Structure 1
């Protein structure tokens, strides 16, 4: 694979922002002690300081209409949310027009590029397609580097050895060239394969499905492996399909933030009011309600939702981000 020209990636960029060093990034995030901002934690071996509430660009965010999603993103930024997650597959369709979260991020994030961490996904398992896919992501988001690149949706069918010889090797090259700062994977389908990746490959970040239902056993299988390797962990699916049933947002978020090894919790918001509520809960943590939830009691209460019957994202064939308007 040829060394990628970073200037090529920003031909259509409105900013052409230069890549920044880890030390420069941390200096720009020195407001983590501000009580009016969402608190931050270090994301494992990356050294990045990330907001404990991170911004998801999946299906719930994609449902927001024009004139609304812009306000949601701006309010998140002004409140101190600094980790924004997307994927090429996160798209909203209206007739023949597609406006995915990549394009939305590209409209809002460039002026804040030196203050935010952008994570995106690698959909392909074909190493020959990695370069083209990354070029597309960079172009749509109007940036010349990505902070965190994750192999999207690790499943039982994924082979660790094939990943190592294929897309993982290409991701390492991009990291060496400065196009990617950190690499990792996401999974909501296989805690065992997640553990295998963490045990055998040098992963900087893992985005794992972990909530109070304990569905998937990620906290039991994958999380200890991540902690052992000092891999930065972001939890997802913390509230999806269970919030408001037998648990409040406060309980579910506190459960996630209180999990050993978890640096941030990824939420995709539909509507600005849920975002505001979660931001306020993040600002209060750890404070008014730290340790107010009995974790085992909450797990017992939520156990009946642990499965595809209740969790849409656990159903066979589910793909996050695709919302047909």
Structure 2
């Protein structure tokens, strides 16, 4: 495994990081908790020491499973990344920015973006309990909250750093302008954003900004929620309540299928899967600090970790990029 320094911090994170959205269950057609915990532990055993989660994932379930999974491991050798700012339990008292209605057991649950100073500090205490730890390595706002000033949110993070409850602070889904605004109050370490072979918008602005300003970039959805594994084209069926039924429709699926067919021989020649090739390609892109990869069982977790060992030559990288240009 490769370990990389995150932005302006002394955090050394695994280049492939465990993404814990799917193990929360909600929006992913449910989950098997035993398998999920096993996937976290298999990740650690294979060198993935960095685990990224959030309170919203399963309404606390993902954080709780991470807390259970890391029992027995040396906490100082594991980096816990979590978030705040999506409130679903009514504690915002109607404040904040309505985001969307989530679903649990057939019931609609309104979710708000809310990141007031008091709310941030409250959320962190709850996350610490669920994770069964006394500090978080990197705390990130989940989505921008238009109803709270960025400076107020950053002031809360500064307090938490001073208290030793978090080692570093970052943001998620922030524009470059929002990052610059945040850094007027606190020198944040990173921005977590969506990025993949099919979604390269950050290369226009965030990547050059990060390179010039020592900002870490953490990327999620490198596999486009499983589309780039190729399994969807082979199997083509998802559970009815799986959000990806709608999500995949934003892409030209025929072009994506042709692209995957074109690069499959590269993976095959290396004894790798498409997933591993895609993860490695993503990890090698300029300014990318770490890449989040989800897994729902131990085998998937081990395979994700091994992606970092793949060597992609200059000619192979050029070929992959030329095929991407056709999508």
Task: State TM-score, norm by structure 2.
Answer: 0.69
Which residue of structure 1 aligns with residue 120 of structure 2?
130
Which residue of structure 2 aligns with residue 320 of structure 1?
none
Deviation, structure 1 residue 110: 3.8
Q: 1:280 aligns with which of 278, 287, 306?
A: 306
Q: Within 1, Cα distance between the matches of 2:159 and 2:183?
A: 21
Q: Within 1, Cα distance between the matches of 2:180 and 2:324?
A: 26
Q: How does 1:1-325 map to 2 (within 5 A)?
A: 38-59=1-22, 62=25, 63-91=30-58, 100-112=61-73, 113-123=75-85, 124-154=114-144, 158=146, 162-164=149-151, 166-187=152-173, 191-197=175-181, 200=184, 202-215=187-200, 217-241=201-225, 242-243=227-228, 244=230, 245=257, 246-247=259-260, 248-282=274-308, 284-285=309-310, 288-291=311-314, 292-294=316-318, 296-301=321-326, 303=327
Q: Within 2, Cα distance between the matches of 1:273 and 1:290?
A: 27
Count of aligned positions: 249
Q: Within 1, Cα distance between the matches of 2:58 and 2:24?
A: 10
Contact 1:254 1:293 in 2 (8 A): no
Deviation, structure 1 residue 196: 4.1
Mark the CA change 1:260 to 1:198 in structure 2 (over 3 Å): closer, same or farther: farther
Task: List runs of 5+ in structure 1 lacking aligned partners.
Answer: 1-37, 93-98, 304-325
Deviations 1:194-225 (A, max 9, x none): 5544664521122121111235x222211222
Q: For 1:131, what is the secondary structure of its paired residue?
A: helix
Contact 1:198 1:229 in 2 (8 A): no
Deviations 1:136-195 (A, max 9, x none): 0001111011110001123xx737x8111x1110111111121111001111xx645555
Which residue of structure 1 aligns with residue 98 of structure 2?
none
Which residue of structure 2 aligns with residue 32 of structure 1?
none
